[in-house]
């Protein structure tokens, strides 16, 4: 679901492959293992974001109901629900953000090899991605990330054209701004802790359960400020993660010489950040969501990236699961949009309306069941589609539009 996760790479014959909307090169008989890892990571990120979003989609009041539930005290099965939500919360969003930065670094390298200036025509890529995100937000999911990634990618593309020293400064400044914002929020929450909070009123009417498809579109337009607030808030963090991804790629995180980097990332991500994230997220509930989703979770994402890179350097054979993840990764933009659309059809009132037909006691098995069903549909779609076509349908449309605009062949 990114505009350039893996740009054209030379195959063993020295030919350059054309990228699609997410920059995925066409398959070759002998693809380098690091590119396999990139495809697998894209697939993991796509299905992982579904693991977070599925709890929103199965809530009878959508995103607003999901946020409201986070502040409720945990009792009974809600503890299990919190654990399951926390496992996915923010990790795959962070991984996806890092992969964007890696994609930009690969595009920059491809432009340098071809003797082209960078960013060059990249603003057109960002513009098309922004349009994709805008349509996705209006018609499918109010928690869309594509618009934010388009803006961030455009900024970072120009930062990557500067010196390494300037890039390092941008990374430090953006990360510092993000940390400062989290700190200010923590202070504000501490002062507000003693105040009585008014319970959120139920949606009446509820466009998620009772409205038509167009009612939900209008609801998103009417609340565009609230729904896009996260995109603004994570902007500094996104810049930092984009730049960190680019620096890791250049530092050799996908090559054998990057073993020390991968080890450090896995220790920081799995031995330190992951336990802290789980404990704080589960025990702290909704009050600690900001600090786990945007604080500890990105470090876990770095650990996931390093572990997958290490796996495919040690074991180049992809395997059945790896092939399925690779297919999802190659059609990432199509799969990201499709998985939210399929889940919306199953859960929302304009579709089958299943979210209102299950009691709160059945929330966990219902949500897990919907996730498995949607994931299976997405994996099957990617497999069957790519057996016949080189790109996913949205990737094909994106690529065709981009070449028409820039007049590239």
- Asked whether the CA dihedral 73, 189, 199, 367 is positive or negative, the reply is negative
27: pLDDT strictly greater than 50: no
9 — pLDDT class (breaks 50, 70, 90): very low
Kindly state the average pLDDT of the residues 191-205. Answer: 67
374: pLDDT strictly greater than 50: yes
Rg value, the chain, Cα:
21
CA distance 128 to 402: 8
Q: What pLDDT shows up at residue 28? A: 39
Reply yes or no: is the peptide bond before residue 119 cis, omega within 30 of 0: yes
290 — pLDDT class (breaks 50, 70, 90): confident
HSE-up of 328 (CA within 13 Å, CB side)? 29
288: pLDDT strictly greater than 70: yes
Q: What pLDDT shows up at residue 30? A: 36
**Mean residue pLDDT across the chain:** 87
Q: Which of these ranges, 41-50, 79-88, 239-248, has the smallest mean pLDDT?
A: 79-88
Kindly state the average pLDDT of the residues 221-239. Answer: 94
Q: What pLDDT shows up at residue 199? A: 64
6 — pLDDT class (breaks 50, 70, 90): very low
Instruction: Provide the residue count of the chain.
Output: 409
pLDDT in tens, 78-137: 788 888 999 999 999 999 999 999 999 999 998 999 899 999 999 999 999 999 999 999
> How many Cβ atoms are within 10 Å of 233's Cβ, its own excluded?
17
Q: What pLDDT shows up at residue 17? A: 44
């Amino acid at each position: 679901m990114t505009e350039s996760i893996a740009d054209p790479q030379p195959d063993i014959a020295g030919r350059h492959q054309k990228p699609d909307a997410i920059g995925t090169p066409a398959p070759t008989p002998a693809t380098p293992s690091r590119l396999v890892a990139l495809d697998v990571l894209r697939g993991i990120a796509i299905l992982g974001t579904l693991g977070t979003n599925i709890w929103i989609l199965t809530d009878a009041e959508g995103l607003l109901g999901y946020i409201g539930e986070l502040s409720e005290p945990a009792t009974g099965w809600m503890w299990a629900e919190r654990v399951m939500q926390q496992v996915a919360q923010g990790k795959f969003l962070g991984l996806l953000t890092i992969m964007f930065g890696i994609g930009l670094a690969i595009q920059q390298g491809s432009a340098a090899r071809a003797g082209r200036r960078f960013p060059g025509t990249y603003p057109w890529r960002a513009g098309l991605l922004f349009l994709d995100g805008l349509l996705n937000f209006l018609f499918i999911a109010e928690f869309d990330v594509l618009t934010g990634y388009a803006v961030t990618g455009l900024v970072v593309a120009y930062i990557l054209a500067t010196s390494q020293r300037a890039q390092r400064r941008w990374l430090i400044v953006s990360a510092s701004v993000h940390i400062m914002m989290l700190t200010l929020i923590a202070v504000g929450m501490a002062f507000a802790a003693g105040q009585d909070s008014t319970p959120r009123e139920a949606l009446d009417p509820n466009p998620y359960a009772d409205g038509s498809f167009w009612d939900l579109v209008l609801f998103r337009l009417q609340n565009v400020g609230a729904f896009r607030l996260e995109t603004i808030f994570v902007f500094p963090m996104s810049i930092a993660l984009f730049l960190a991804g680019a620096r890791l790629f250049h530092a050799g995180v996908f090559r054998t010489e990057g073993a020390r980097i991968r080890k450090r990332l896995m220790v920081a991500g799995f031995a330190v950040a992951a336990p802290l994230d789980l404990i704080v997220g589960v025990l702290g509930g909704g009050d600690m969501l900001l600090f786990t989703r945007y604080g500890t979770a990105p470090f876990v994402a770095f650990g996931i990236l390093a572990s997958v890179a290490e796996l495919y350097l040690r074991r180049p054979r992809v395997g059945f699961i790896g092939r399925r993840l690779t297919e999802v990764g190659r059609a990432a933009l199509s799969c990201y949009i499709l998985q939210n659309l399929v889940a919306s059809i199953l859960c929302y009132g304009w579709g089958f309306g299943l979210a209102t037909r299950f009691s709160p006691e059945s929330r966990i098995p219902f949500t897990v069941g919907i996730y498995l069903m949607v994931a299976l549909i997405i994996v099957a779609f990617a497999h069957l589609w790519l057996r016949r076509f080189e790109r996913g349908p949205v990737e094909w449309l994106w690529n065709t539009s981009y070449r028409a605009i820039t007049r590239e062949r």
